[in-house]
A and B are shown apart, each in its own frame.
Chain A
Amino acid sequence: MGNFTRRDVMKAVAAASALQLSGQSALAADPLKVAFIFIGPVGDYGWTWAHNKGRLDLEKALGNKVKTTYVENVKEDASAIPILRDLARQGNKLIFACSFNYMEQVLEVAREFPEVKFEHCTGFKRAPNVATYSARFHEGRAVIGTIAGYMSKSGVIGYLGSFKIPEVVMGVNAFTLAAQAVNPKIQTKLVMIDTWFDPAKETAATQTLANLGCDVITTHTDSPAPLQFCEQKGIYGFGQGADMSKFAPKAQLTAIEDIWAPHYIKRANAVINGTWKSEDFWEGIKAGDVVISPYNPIVPKNVQEAANKIIDGYKNETYDIFKGPIFDQNGTEKVSAGKAMSLGELATIDWYVKGVQSA
């Protein structure tokens, strides 16, 4: 039933924008129409909020050269296909699909509309008119993992995840490895809640992790609800996607901010100038796509310095959290000493490092 209503909303949105379109004729200097599909509501104050901010900044930067639209709450199932199709038919020439499991749907629709450029966020499959882009969130996870390693008294830290996809697995591993670099005994408890956005379930899962002994909990879902619980409980957490300190001034130690505007502006310009190519973009702290929010004053000076060292290491390319030796949960060596995982290996990673407790 939930599907039904969402689809109906979508149809209404599509119909409304189609109406709008029929009113305009093809003018000489038509703006480039850019569309976005989002997994959650733009008001989630997390992942989707950050993408929408990127969209708004794109409009601000290119003014009347672009015209953007978005559809929010698009499920990661077959229902994404007609939505993508509608957006392509409405004359959008550049379409951003902002979640991992839109992968096959994007490829399918892209085959039908070879003249439309598609960009799929956090995916790894490309086509002549499908590019992929992401940010190296795991670099941010290495920074907050370092802080967690210092701040945890129990030695048990929590990770609230959404789905077992490479982006999340990478985050779990980077967070755990960084914390273990500070305190080798660190254990990470992992809960996947099978959704990106469900504040009540996110809260319940955070309560569960806290009750099982986690005193620092990071989230890989899209709402600030877990941080609010940490604030009440007097434990620590991190903002995800955006600075969420407003929701948890004491509990948020720092946040990983996703900055999408530079990519959106660059790619819209590429389409306008006719230089767009199917590529893979995966930048991180160095390029400014991943930003660490100001530290909470609670974080001691030496911890801030340790975290800054990781940030600087990424900026001057001297640091990599995925350097061997790395062992998986069963103790098997996956990366030998002196070697590092390539970005390609990371993009398809499906195993957790030693010290992660997962179902």
Chain B
Amino acid sequence: MTWTFLIDALVTVIGITTPILLAASGELVVEKSGVINLGIEGMMLVGAITGFAVAFEFSNPWIGIGAAALAGVATSMIFAVLVLSLGTNQVATGLALTIFGIGLSSLIGTNYTGFAALPFDPPFPDALVQHPIWRVIFGHSVFVYFAFLLVFTIGWFLSSTRAGLVLRSVGENDFSAHSIGYPVVAIRFAAIAFGGAIAGIAGANFSMVITPMWAEQMTAGRGWIALALVVFAGWRAGRLLAGAYFFGVLMTLELYAKASGYAIIPSQFWAAMPYLIAVAVLAFISSRDGKSGKEPACLGKPFLPNG
């Protein structure tokens, strides 16, 4: 086993983990504000096709990423208006958003099937990107660095800033936050928009880097894994990072075990492993008392200040 071999394996892990980590980071902020948005998959797909199409038309991947984020925000605003302004059920609305996103992205994508995206090279000099060892740090797409930066920033924002405290208070006790004068609905709008932008960028990660093309439903259910990851991580940014990479390592190990001909463990078991472990961790978390790993108290509940 050589360094090159390990680095190549790590590249696979990072590639498979990053979009899940991104989408989950956005959802973490949304859920911390007391809203659960099950529409991640839909927002990712809208981001994926928008990012691809715009980057393709303008021959500029950066504009593509920006457009993907905006498309994510726009999609999430449909959800926000329905659940925050009209008080609809968050679970049902989120599911509807996923269905809507699948349909909308397929519709936009009709004219973009069968094209390859422009190459989107890592933002470092070729000498570092191609270097046999240093590529482990410098050889990735911007999405990878952005994901790391994002999860650390969110962790710091939630635990160490005043704005983060306000956001959490809205998620833990919306009536108290309201009574001392915080604009609960506006804060939730902002959180949902943020989650939408990040989901859009996570989608663009698929269509611009991982598989540089557009194919319908190319996210193949990653939005649901991101959603599970937030719960798995106990609504904490640090655990989110660890959990996402844990999933990524397991998925990659499964592929390596199969390709190396290890039949000791049936492949179905490998495929089920991330979910089995998630269940075990959830059982472990819920069996403990205390504050760590508890969901925001107002999660999923509508806020009607006059009701």
A interface list, Cβ under 8 A from B: 1-2, 4-5, 8-9, 12, 41-45, 49, 72-73, 158, 189-195, 197-205, 207-212, 223-225, 228, 246-248, 357-359
Contact = CB atoms under 8 A, between A and B. Distances in A.
B19 A194 contact: no
A103 to B, nearest CB: 19
B98 A44 contact: no
A5 B95 contact: yes
A168 to B, nearest CB: 13
B216 A42 contact: yes
B183 to A, nearest CB: 32
Nearest to B207: A199
B212 interface: yes
Nearest to B270: A359
B210 interface: yes
Contacts of A42: 216
Interface residues of B, number: 52
B257 interface: yes
Contact of A44 (B8, B102, B215, B271): B215
17 contacts: A1-B95, A5-B102, A9-B99, A41-B217, A43-B106, A189-B259, A191-B259, A200-B211, A202-B211, A205-B255, A205-B259, A212-B256, A225-B213, A228-B212, A246-B116, A358-B261, A359-B258
Given A212-B256, A228-B211, 17 more contacts: A2-B224, A9-B102, A45-B113, A45-B215, A191-B255, A191-B259, A194-B268, A198-B221, A199-B211, A199-B213, A199-B215, A200-B15, A200-B19, A200-B218, A202-B211, A203-B210, A246-B115
A207 B8 contact: yes
A42 B110 CA distance: 10
Contacts of A43: 106, 109-110, 113, 214-216
Interface in B67-109: 95, 98-99, 102-103, 106, 109
B99 A8 contact: yes
Interface string B249-268: 00110011111111100011
Given A191-B259, A209-B259, A246-B114, A204 B211 contact: no
Interface string B1-24: 000010011011001100100000
Contacts of A72: 216
B220 interface: yes
A211 B9 contact: yes
B102 to A, nearest CB: 7
Contacts of B212: 228
Which of B95, B252, B259: most chain A CB closer than 10 A? B259
A207 B16 CA distance: 11
B38 interface: yes
B206 interface: yes
B210 A192 contact: no
B217 A73 contact: yes
B143 to A, nearest CB: 13
A301 B9 CA distance: 36
A192 B224 contact: no
B188 interface: no
The interface centre, meaning the residue of A4, A204, A246 with most chain B CB atoms within 10 A of its CB, is A204
4 tightest A-B CB contacts, nearest first: A41-B216, A225-B211, A43-B216, A198-B220
Contacts of A49: 113
